[in-house]
């Protein structure tokens, strides 16, 4: 035990003398999650584009464009609001809108007449990516309208009389003729090479106020923070990178000749391997303390501490075991590093580290439960999002602990071989 403490203390002392790599790896999940949170709003709620629509036309096509942002179907992504141009501008200046779309008077008539028309989009520079989403959506809509107008030029001209309020219904023969014209239009779509007649003009609004602060969340709210949504997956991924730094030290010591020197001393190879495993686990625990501490500072809902500790312990076991297998199997430091990065990246994608597992294709999703990263990520998400306790994540803890024990066993045998190679080097 004394020797073990002595070995781990030496490794930690060395790490404190060259901490840069560890700091980078520790900061990575926090920076990554923080950037995502900043990009998608202010980290307080799932972001919606606050879209203000000033419809000055009120024609059929203008209403259609406006409804793209104000309809029930759009409410998942857009918080659409119909305003006058003056109201819209005032709201934008108060920072209460992501973008203001102005549909000019005569829009429907001009489109049907084939005259150039301009949609104006005013973006809020105080917001991150949300105005960009608005611009991309309006841009896509403009392209569709423009292409549609060109392709269906003839049928639109034929339709024009029926937009008049004279109450006269089109004859069946007219409808057949218009339908055939639309069909021919679709067939001739490849001939669409004209310059656009519907143009989107986009500009940034100056002197905008910062968005009003939302009320502080109350304890017990469901954790809806983007930061906390992203953090579990990326933190578990980061934990593998931290563990990689710890276990890599076996190879580093082999290169330095200090592994050979230790093996020439009164110390069994198993003690040296155990020392590296404990050192790796200590680094992983440090990472959990740092990342968990930041997470707790952002978190508004209570999380079960025993469940968090048990899950973290099982995860530390699993990441240490995984890295032990990698560094036991690899023959050189470079080989291990390459292999490790590939495995961690694959686990990150397959296990839901970067994209939530529910968002993965079903065929890929089936691989997720074979990765410790999946069980770690899902476990932390269950703690944060569902307020799960020990019983709720018992399966996660059990699978991770089992993976850890199996991997550590395989890794220990493989690392012993690495140590022997180091002795005879």
Partner 1 sequence: MFQVQGLVKSYGSLRAVDGVSFTVAKGELYGLLGPNGAGKTTIMSMLSGLLAPDEGRILFDGIDLAGEPLKVKAQLGVVPQEPALYENLSARENLSFWGGLYGLSGAQLKQAVDRVLELVGLTDRAKDPVKQYSGGMKRRINLALGLVHGPRAVLMDEPTVGIDPQARLNILEAVKQVAAAGTTVIYTTHYLEEAEQLCDRIAIMDHGKILAEGTLDELKRRVGGRDVVTVRGSFDAAAVRPRFEALPGVSVTSVEPGRLVLSVEGSGRGAVDLLSHVLADGLSIDGISIQPPSLNTLFLNLTGRELRD
Q: Which residues bind partner 1 (CB under 8 A)?
A: 3, 6-7, 10, 13-14, 17-18, 256-258, 260-268, 423-424
Q: Judged by CB, which is closer to partner 1: 74, or 263?
A: 263
Closest CA to 94 of 103, 110, 107, 83: 83
Closest CA to 378 of 411, 400, 409: 400
Q: Judged by CB, which is closer to partner 1: 34, or 275?
A: 275
How far is 63 from 194, CA to CA, in rounded Å? 26
How far is 271 from 368, CA to CA, in rounded Å? 34
Instruction: Please report how close the Cβ of residue 420 comes to partner 1 at its closest, in angstroms.
Output: 9
Q: Judged by CB, which is closer to partner 1: 212, or 265?
A: 265
* Distance, first Cα to last Cα, the chain: 28
Q: Judged by CB, which is closer to partner 1: 19, or 302?
A: 19
Instruction: Please report how close the Cβ of residue 264 comes to partner 1 at its closest, in angstroms.
Output: 4
Q: Judged by CB, which is closer to partner 1: 7, or 30?
A: 7
Instruction: Please report how close the Cβ of residue 268 comes to partner 1 at its closest, in angstroms.
Output: 7
Instruction: Please report how close the Cβ of residue 263 comes to partner 1 at its closest, in angstroms.
Output: 6
Q: Judged by CB, which is closer to partner 1: 9, or 413?
A: 9
Cβ-contact 135, 103 below 8 angstroms: no
251-260: Cβ within 8 A, 24+ apart: 251/327, 251/330, 251/332, 251/333, 251/336, 251/418, 252/333, 253/422, 254/333, 254/418, 254/421, 254/422, 254/425, 255/333, 257/425, 259/419, 259/422, 259/423, 260/422, 260/423, 260/425
Instruction: Please report how close the Cβ of residue 286 comes to partner 1 at its closest, in angstroms.
Output: 19
Instruction: Please report how close the Cβ of residue 13 comes to partner 1 at its closest, in angstroms.
Output: 7
Cβ-contact 311, 228 below 8 angstroms: no
Cβ-contact 44, 221 below 8 angstroms: no
């Amino acid at each position: 035990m004394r020797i073990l403490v002595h070995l781990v203390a030496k490794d930690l002392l060395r790490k404190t003398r060259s901490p840069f790599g560890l700091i980078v790896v520790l900061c990575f999940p926090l920076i990554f999650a923080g950037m995502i949170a900043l990009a998608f709003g202010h980290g307080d709620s799932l972001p919606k584009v606050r879209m203000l629509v000033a419809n000055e036309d009120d024609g059929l096509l203008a209403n259609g464009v406006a409804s793209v942002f104000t309809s029930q179907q759009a409410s998942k992504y857009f918080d659409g609001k119909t305003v006058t141009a003056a109201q819209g501008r005032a709201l934008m200046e108060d920072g209460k809108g992501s973008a203001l779309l102005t549909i000019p008077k005569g829009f429907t008539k001009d489109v049907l007449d084939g005259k150039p028309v301009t949609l104006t989009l005013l973006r809020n520079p105080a917001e991150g990516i949300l105005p960009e989403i608005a611009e991309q959506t309006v841009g896509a809509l403009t392209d569709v309208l423009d292409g549609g107008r060109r392709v269906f030029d003839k049928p639109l001209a034929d339709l024009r009389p029926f937009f008049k309020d004279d109450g006269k219904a089109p004859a069946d023969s007219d409808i057949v003729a218009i339908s055939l014209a639309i069909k021919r239009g679709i067939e001739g779509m490849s001939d669409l090479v004209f310059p656009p007649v519907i143009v989107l003009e986009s500009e940034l609004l100056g002197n905008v106020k910062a968005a009003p602060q939302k009320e502080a969340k109350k304890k017990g709210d469901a954790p809806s923070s983007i930061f906390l949504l992203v953090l579990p997956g990326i933190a578990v991924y980061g934990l593998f990178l931290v563990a990689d730094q710890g276990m890599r030290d076996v190879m580093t010591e082999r290169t330095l000749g200090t592994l050979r020197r230790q093996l020439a001393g009164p110390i069994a190879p198993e003690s040296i391997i155990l020392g590296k495993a404990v050192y790796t686990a200590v680094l992983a625990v440090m990472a959990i303390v740092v990342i968990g501490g930041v997470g707790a500072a952002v978190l508004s809902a209570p999380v079960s501490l025993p469940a968090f500790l048990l899950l973290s312990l099982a995860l530390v076991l699993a990441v240490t075991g995984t890295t032990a297998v990698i560094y036991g199997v690899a023959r050189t430091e470079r080989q291990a590093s390459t292999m490790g990065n590939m495995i961690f990246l694959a686990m990150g994608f397959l296990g839901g580290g970067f994209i939530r597992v529910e968002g993965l294709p079903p065929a890929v999703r089936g691989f997720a439960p074979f990765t410790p990263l999946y069980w770690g990520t899902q476990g932390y998400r269950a703690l944060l999002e569902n307020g799960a306790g020990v019983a709720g994540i018992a399966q996660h803890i059990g699978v991770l602990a089992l993976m850890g024990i199996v991997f550590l066993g395989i890794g220990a045998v493989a690392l012993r071989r690495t140590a022997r190679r180091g002795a005879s080097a």
